[in-house]
A and B are shown apart, each in its own frame.
Chain A
Amino acid sequence: MKRLLILVALLLFFSACGNGDEAAETARDAAEAELTEFELQHGIGPIDEPLDLGDVQIERARAGAEYFDSRCASCHRMEQRFVGPPVGNITESRSHEFVINFILNPEEMTQRHPVGQALLQEYLTTMPYQNVTEDQAFEILDFLRHYADTGEDLREQ
């Protein structure tokens, strides 16, 4: 009984002025942690609806090759595992939307997306955000699509 009273006293003392708003916020955070069908398939980030990109534009792919070289190549090879996974075939195994979202929002992708979480577990290094614009990310995507389609690495020209 005495122990119960101590407990009640402590609880009352420390929680008499509990904040109702905080509880509601925690509940909202939990809801946000659950991803939509689109996010599960295409990643979390600025691309939140399906894309229809059409054919690779070779000039944009060439520009993408340059950005890939300066922003990505330090960690990614086309065919071999390096610091990060090989990306030569990435446009076959992942959607265009997923690749763009991963480039533009790597931190949230590795923390909240199940595929990102699994990649982090395997590779251990969080992919850095490399401050590329959305347009540059699409150029990098064209570079990767061109490689996947033709096997030609535009950096080698």
Chain B
Amino acid sequence: MVQKITLWKVSTVLLGIGLLSVLMYGCPSQTEMLDTGDAAQRVYVAPGEYDEYYAFLSGGYSGQLSVWGLPSGRMFRNIPVFSQDPESGYGYSEETKPLLMTSYGFIPWDDSHHPELSLTNSMPDGRWMFINANNTPRVARIDLTSFETVETLELPNTGGNHASTFATENTEYIIGATRFSIPYDMDLDVPIDTYSENFDGSLSFIGVDEETGEMSMDFQILMPPYHYDLGRAGKGPSADWVFFTTYNTEEAHTLLEINASEFDKDYIVAVNWKMAEEYVREGRAETVPAEYYHNMKDENTSIAVSNVHDEVLLLDPRDAPDMIYFLPTPKSPHGVDIDPTGEYIVGGGKLATIIPVHSFSRMLEAIENEAFEEIINGIPVLEYESTIVGEVEDPGLGPLHTEFDGDGHAYTSVYISSEIVKWSLETFEVVDRIDSYYSIGHLMITGGDTPNPDKRYMLGLTKTSRDRFLPTGPKQLHPAQLYDISGDRMEMLLDFPTIGEPHYAQAIRADEIRDNVKQIYDLDANNHPHAVKRTADARVERDGDVVRVYMTNIRSHFTPDNIEGIRVGDEVHFHLTNIEQDWDMVHGFAIKGSNNAEVLIAPGETKTFVWHPQRTGIYPFYCTAFCSALHQEMQGYVRVSPADSDVPLTWRTGED
């Protein structure tokens, strides 16, 4: 009875609501919903529809780079860069292992912080993405037609490549720097307390071939033993310059938390890279020993190849005047960001109570007038008052990074007070502030680091999520928050967990990339030396203990799928060619007991999986990528016989 009454009431209420809503509002049209909609409607991208922007979020300590859509916050792909990825076989397959080689050997992990899109006229051109490795200093290049890492370059004589990757106006250079000063000769064995005497900083200028994107370690600049934190290239009038922040000008080597925070000001370093390049071409750089690896996927064979270099060009500011200056900046500055006009140089004064803004044109005047406080290792220190044009008051506690909307405003992330402040580039006054959840590091505005920002979206990349989502234990994913910045006030639209630590991000309008993305690798252009393009060529060959299986994959069988005559102690190379030529038809391979990850093979691609069978028996292998209704049947067997067996090497598939 109680239930009936409830139902009756509910039905009456529903009828009322239904009638009322139709009578009062009619049926809302699609346009009205978009124009006046709330946050949910503004981030809603309907099933089957595309996002407006690609966003690339570094994975921080995951070592990877994840690809997302904005405004939906949907994740499309996690690109392995500096860490092995058992999901795809990156860093496990023979073709990709060389990409993780360094002068310290094979390194399965790193910490990737700052992605940077390649630039033409300071605008992203959608060709490549660069990203740094912080721990064992490297820079990687990702091809944005395949969304795959194709190149890694080690930075010699560098401790912690944090101020990287940032590109000059036309990607002439990608910059890098030493975060933790160490002796420039990396193998030098000295007491740590000889820091000031024996330690050095270095700035790296990595050349990028404008046609192929291939990187090279063009030259380095020797610096005082400070910590070099972040960088940016200038644009417009300042395009010939790059800027770095420093901290630890105290030259502390222990308890930096206190000892590197003593001075009121550290420096922003301004480097005229064009002049430095000229000095290098004139032969003013010294050639010094430096072991480092350069690894690149060969365009022709699709196999990554490592080259080891043994020297680098080093420019000492004492031999190269007028190219480098220090701008005193309060206090342990973190970010250094250049406004869209190229005139303002904004320091993120991490421990400062203001946001300092330098003027590029006043910096040139100060250089002209030699308004120097002192000269350190050949580097003039400009007077603070000669370059500073604004100090933004009341920015919150711990301002870090700034981007711009192209409409006269800057947006600075503020870590300790966990907020974003919007301030005017005219009055240098805060005009709006909004909370972040929680402890924001970088922020990213669509085009906010270019001369021509899209005043649309801002992503806040935060360090802890705490109570924002259903709890998953003591360690939770780091989130990102999407804000609408198109109006006068910032509005939060979305809050979502991401992969690893989303340290920094880049965004680009989807149409700059979308049509260039490959759907398959062309089988006819596959020049891998162990590719098999016809099932008729599938075979197994033995050369001593090395057995090579030339195997094709297509829905839904392997050729060959029965292999006998393998012996304990063999080194078996499965060269797997996916002969599909249809988009997204991926096959995978795994075999029981192998001390290896699976490998995924894209259509038209060849990948190699190495296996060391250690016990006799029958070993099933199978396709790990669900490929068709008969995916479950896509399997085979390898018979492993004793080391001294005379079982002949045979192979077959089906009746053959």
Contact = CB atoms under 8 A, between A and B. Distances in A.
B19 A12 contact: yes
Contact of B554 (A8, A128, A131, A132): A128
Interface stretch (A25-33, A73-81, A143-151): A73-81
Interface string B13-41: 01101110110000110000000000000
Interface string B551-562: 010111101000
B556 A125 contact: yes
A117 interface: no
B581 A17 contact: no
A119 B534 CA distance: 24
A9 B11 contact: yes
B323 to A, nearest CB: 53
Given A13-B17, A125-B555, A71 B629 contact: no
Q: Which of A74, A82, A131 has the most CB of B within 10 A?
A: A74
A115 interface: no
Interface in B571-614: 579-582, 585
Contact of A2 (B11, B14, B21): B11
Interface string A60-94: 00000000011101110000101100000000000
B581 A129 contact: yes
B523 interface: yes
A69 B534 contact: yes
Contact of A74 (B4, B10, B552): B552
A10 interface: yes
Nearest to B581: A131
B630 A124 contact: yes
B534 A2 contact: no
B486 interface: no
B78 interface: no
Interface in B514-531: 520, 523
Contacts of A6: 7, 10-11, 14
A10 B73 CA distance: 34
A73 B536 contact: yes
Q: Which of A5, A9, A10 has the most CB of B within 10 A?
A: A9
A128 B581 CA distance: 8
Interface in A122-140: 124-126, 128-132
Given A17-B28, A131-B582, A126 B555 contact: yes
Chain A: interface size category? 20 to 34
A16 interface: yes
B536 A83 contact: no
Q: Which of B11, B533, B557, B559 has the most CB of A within 10 A?
A: B11
A126 B15 contact: no
A155 B554 CA distance: 20
Nearest to B634: A125
Contacts of B557: 74, 83
Nearest to B23: A16
A64 B214 CA distance: 38
Contacts of B10: 6
A2 B14 CA distance: 13
A125 B534 contact: no
A74 B629 contact: no
A126 B629 CA distance: 8
Contacts of B535: 69, 73-74
A75 B11 contact: no
A73 to B, nearest CB: 5
Given A69-B534, A73-B534, A74-B559, A124 B629 contact: yes
Q: Which of A10, A16, A126, A155 has the most CB of B within 10 A?
A: A16
B104 interface: no
Q: Is the interface of B mostly helix, strand, loop or mixed?
A: mixed
B536 A128 contact: no
Nearest to B557: A83
A125 B15 contact: no
A2 B17 CA distance: 17
Contact of B22 (A10, A16, A131): A16
Given A5-B11, A70-B534, A12 B655 contact: no
B21 A16 contact: yes
Nearest to B26: A17
Contacts of A132: 581
A10 B14 contact: yes
Given A74-B554, A125-B555, A131 B520 contact: yes
Nearest to A107: B582
A100 to B, nearest CB: 17
Contacts of B17: 13
A12 B15 CA distance: 7
Contacts of A70: 523, 533-534, 579
A128 B159 CA distance: 51
B586 to A, nearest CB: 12
A2 B7 contact: yes
A140 to B, nearest CB: 14
A82 B654 contact: yes
Contacts of B14: 6, 9-10, 12-13
Contact of A80 (B11, B15, B523, B655): B655
Contacts of A13: 14-15, 17-18
B12 interface: yes
Contacts of B580: 128, 130
Nearest to A73: B535
Nearest to B16: A9
Contacts of B27: 16-17
A69 B520 CA distance: 19
Contacts of A73: 534-536
A69 B628 contact: no
B8 A126 contact: no
Nearest to B655: A80
Nearest to A19: B27
Nearest to B520: A131
Nearest to A83: B557
A147 B7 CA distance: 74
A8 B582 CA distance: 49
Nearest to A66: B534
A143 B137 CA distance: 56
Contacts of A83: 556-557, 654
A121 to B, nearest CB: 11
Contact of B555 (A8, A10, A128, A131): A128
A69 B532 CA distance: 11
27 contacts: A2-B11, A5-B11, A6-B10, A8-B15, A9-B11, A9-B15, A9-B18, A12-B15, A12-B22, A13-B15, A16-B18, A69-B534, A70-B523, A71-B579, A73-B536, A74-B535, A74-B552, A74-B559, A80-B655, A83-B654, A124-B630, A125-B555, A125-B629, A125-B630, A128-B554, A129-B582, A131-B520
Interface of B: 4, 7-8, 10-12, 14-15, 17-19, 21-22, 27-28, 520, 523, 533-536, 552, 554-557, 559, 579-582, 585, 628-630, 654-655
Interface of A: 2, 5-6, 8-10, 12-13, 16-17, 69-71, 73-75, 80, 82-83, 124-126, 128-132, 155
Given A73-B535, A128-B581, 19 more contacts: A2-B7, A2-B11, A6-B10, A6-B11, A9-B15, A9-B18, A12-B15, A13-B18, A70-B533, A70-B579, A71-B581, A73-B536, A74-B535, A74-B552, A74-B554, A83-B556, A125-B629, A128-B554, A129-B581
